[in-house]
Amino acid sequence: MSQFDSLTLWTVILGLALGSFTLRFAFLALMGDRSLPDWLMRHLRYTAVAILPALVTPLVAWPSATGGLPSLPHLLAALVALVVGFLSKNIIAAMGAAALTLYGLIQLIG
């Protein structure tokens, strides 16, 4: 924090808050009473499906616990999550199975 003075910090915070509010306002207030086209609604349905793997993949491929090196327990836990999620269509079951797999493999190896 010593690099930034408080004016710069608050300018960045307020700028980000204003930008975030403007984006939300544009969709909620200006377009809230209109129906969106079917093609756009179809694409928006897949937003979470696209974002979640993008957030998790770096943590699986380069886990910080191993110093950024690929790890067999992490990769196998991700594979278990993928298989259980695909077969059960249940995100909680997939996360639980992956957590148990990761914990079990780490205990087995370590």
Q: What is d(CA 81, CA 99) in angstroms, rounded to the nearest whole number?
A: 9
Q: Which residues of the chain have pLDDT under 50?
A: 1
Determine the pLDDT at residue 1: 47
**Gyration radius from the chain CA atoms:** 21
CB contact at 8 A, 94 and 84: yes
- Determine the pLDDT at residue 2: 58
User: What range defines the domain where residue 11 resides?
Assistant: 1-34
Residue corresponding to tokens 């909620």: 28
Are 69 and 94 in the same domain? yes
Q: Residues 85, 52: one domain?
A: yes
Position 46 scores a pLDDT of 87
Residues 30 and 42 in one domain: no
Task: Report the domain count for the chain.
Answer: 2
Q: What is the pLDDT of residue 101?
A: 96
What is the sign of the dihedral through the CA atoms of 104, 105, 108 and 110?
A: negative
pTM: predicted TM-score of the whole model, two decimal places:
0.60
Closest of 44, 71, 45 to residue 58, by C-alpha = 71
The label of the residue with tokens 């608050």 reads: 10
